[in-house]
Amino acid sequence: MNTEKKRILMIATGGTIACKRSDGGLKPVLTSQELLAFVPDAANFCQADAVQVLNIDSTNIRPEHWLMIAGAIQEHYDDYDGFVVCHGTDTMAYTAAALSYLIQNSPKPIVITGAQKPIDLEITDAKTNLLDSLSFASCSRAHGVNIVFDGKVIAGTRGKKERTKSYNAFSSINFPYIATIQDGHVIFYLDDKEHLTAPVQFYRELDDKVALLKLIPSMDGGVLDYMAAHYDAIIIESFGVGGIPERETGDFHDAIRRCVQAGKIIVMTTQVTNEGSNMSVYEIGKNIKQQFDLLEAYDMTLEAVVTKLMWIMAQTREPQAVREMLYRTVNRDILFTGKE
């Protein structure tokens, strides 16, 4: 750890970490300054300031909020060495992925954290998570957008909440942890800041016309027609490595044909958390992928696919450009792209 104290900006958005009990249940009410007051030990290694951008339950997060958070970071980017965003856990993975696309090539660390229990409780993970996040944001070797939670550092595009109550709520999907934090010491597994050569780039637009269709046995293809009437990009979460159900009526195949002809973007992914999709393995997936030249998520998380499409569609709808941008790696989001 450098002896010189880094300047860190903590951005509060609400979430469990900022909650207090009310008659209706937990509700985010603590301010950014109140959150910081619970971790006085941070003053030993950083000079932290705090701002309040939102104070909401993360269930209510929307793309416009991601733009607000990114805008706050951009506004203060030159004044601080790192940033910590306090956020609710339920949609934290979406926010971390969204910020990964809105703020690219950042040599300064941008950390997203939160807690499973409010910070004002005697027994809570909040103080440790916030202190670890400030510590990582103060590390000169840290960079880019990452989640810090339960002593683990996860690439912003690779996090997923897999447990609703336990302190080890988040896992890194199809990618190793960036680092771990033990007793305030950051232990890097991927120490690659020197490979960062492009300047930081901020984006200020997202297109939220993205929907998810999770397949279940017996689902009718008419659902896809309905979604296509309301959205411009549809992610189809299929079974196993990926495929579309076949019926004598050809309903799903016909629905996909109509979507493609209407210029809709379709991305195939899998309901299975680990190891990703590969539609070329089975005939039931390979045929339809080749027939309609479908896009595929491969090893990307659902949260990354959703937010990356929002970022892409705000810039282009041209099919080849969408394909190239989806398969271009941003903040470690995709490693395997088949034969693409």
* CATH number of the domain enclosing 236: 3.40.50.40
| Residue 214 shares a structural domain with residue 238 | yes
| Residue 227 shares a structural domain with residue 190 | no
Contacts of 274 (CB under 8 A, 6+ apart): 173, 174
For residues 196-221, average pLDDT: 95
For the annotated catalytic residues, the residue numbers are 16
| Residue 221 shares a structural domain with residue 169 | no
Model pLDDT for residues 84-117, shown as the tens digit of each residue: 999 999 999 999 999 999 999 999 999 999 999 9
- In this predicted structure, the answer to whether residue 1 has a pLDDT above a threshold of 90 is no
333 located within any domain: no
266 located within any domain: yes
Please give the pLDDT value at position 287.
Answer: 84
| Residue 155 shares a structural domain with residue 235 | no
What gap in Å lies between CA 101 and CA 99, rounded to an integer? 5
Q: Which is more confident, 237 or 252?
A: 237
Tokens of 275: 């190891």
For residues 122-145, average pLDDT: 97
What gap in Å lies between CA 286 and CA 193, rounded to an integer? 39
pTM reported for the whole predicted model? 0.95
| Residue 178 shares a structural domain with residue 53 | yes
Query: In what helix (H) or strand (E) does residue 194 lie, and over which residues does it extend?
Result: none
| Residue 180 shares a structural domain with residue 256 | no
Please give the pLDDT value at position 76.
Answer: 98
What is the CB neighbour count within 10 angstroms for residue 30? Answer: 23
Please give the pLDDT value at position 248.
Answer: 59
What gap in Å lies between CA 53 and CA 95, rounded to an integer? 14
157 located within any domain: yes
Give the CA angle between residues 121, 123, 128 to the nearest 5°: 95
Domain end point (choices 202, 236, 252)? 202
CA atoms within 13 A on the CB side of 316: 9
Model pLDDT for residues 290-310, shown as the tens digit of each residue: 888 899 999 999 999 999 999
180 located within any domain: yes
Decide if 66 contacts 98 (C-beta within 8 A): yes
- In this predicted structure, the answer to whether residue 174 has a pLDDT above a threshold of 50 is yes
| Residue 55 shares a structural domain with residue 161 | yes
CATH of the domain at 185: 3.40.50.1170
Which pLDDT band, with edges at 50, 70 and 90, does 153 fall under?
A: very high
332 located within any domain: no
336 located within any domain: no
Give the CA angle between residues 80, 82, 86 to the nearest 5°: 115
| Residue 68 shares a structural domain with residue 154 | yes
338 located within any domain: no
| Residue 39 shares a structural domain with residue 142 | yes
| Residue 58 shares a structural domain with residue 131 | yes
Rounded to a whole number of angstroms, the CA Rg of the chain reads 21
Decide if 157 contacts 135 (C-beta within 8 A): no
Number of domains in the chain: 2
| Residue 44 shares a structural domain with residue 189 | yes
Model pLDDT for residues 218-251, shown as the tens digit of each residue: 888 999 999 999 999 999 999 999 988 887 556 8
For residues 139-163, average pLDDT: 98
Domain end point (choices 202, 235, 265)? 202
Please give the pLDDT value at position 17.
Answer: 96
164 located within any domain: yes
Domain end point (choices 202, 225, 247)? 202
| Residue 215 shares a structural domain with residue 197 | no
Which pLDDT band, with edges at 50, 70 and 90, does 121 fall under?
A: very high
Average pLDDT over the chain reads 94
Which pLDDT band, with edges at 50, 70 and 90, does 22 fall under?
A: confident
Q: By C-alpha distance, which of 84, 307, 133, 78 is closest to 203?
A: 307
Structural domain containing residue 217:
210-326
Tokens of 167: 């302190």
For residues 326-336, average pLDDT: 95
